[in-house]
């Protein structure tokens, strides 16, 4: 794998991990204030 391809793959994994963390935080916050899952945009 070329260096540029490795960098792109790493960035993609990091962005996906960040998105997953943000989604988890939103779901926990929604649960704390009493929203149900059906009202969350996924």
Q: Is residue 10 part of a domain?
A: yes
For residues 26 and 39, the answer to whether their CB atoms sit within 8 Å is no
The number of folded domains in the chain is: 1
Q: How far apart are CA 37 and CA 35, in angstroms?
A: 7
* pLDDT for 36: 76
Q: Is residue 30 part of a domain?
A: yes
Altogether, the residues listed in the chain come to a count of 42
Question: pTM of the full predicted structure?
Answer: 0.71
Structural domain boundaries enclosing 32: 3-36
Q: Is residue 18 part of a domain?
A: yes
Q: How far apart are CA 9 and CA 2, in angstroms?
A: 11
For residues 27 and 40, the answer to whether their CB atoms sit within 8 Å is yes
DSSP state of 11: H
Mean pLDDT of successive 10-residue stretches along the chain, which has 42 residues: 95 99 95 79 62
């Amino acid at each position: 794998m070329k260096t540029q391809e490795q960098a792109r793959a790493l960035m993609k994994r990091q962005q996906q991990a960040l998105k997953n963390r943000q989604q988890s935080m939103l779901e926990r916050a929604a649960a704390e204030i009493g929203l149900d899952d059906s009202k969350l945009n996924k």
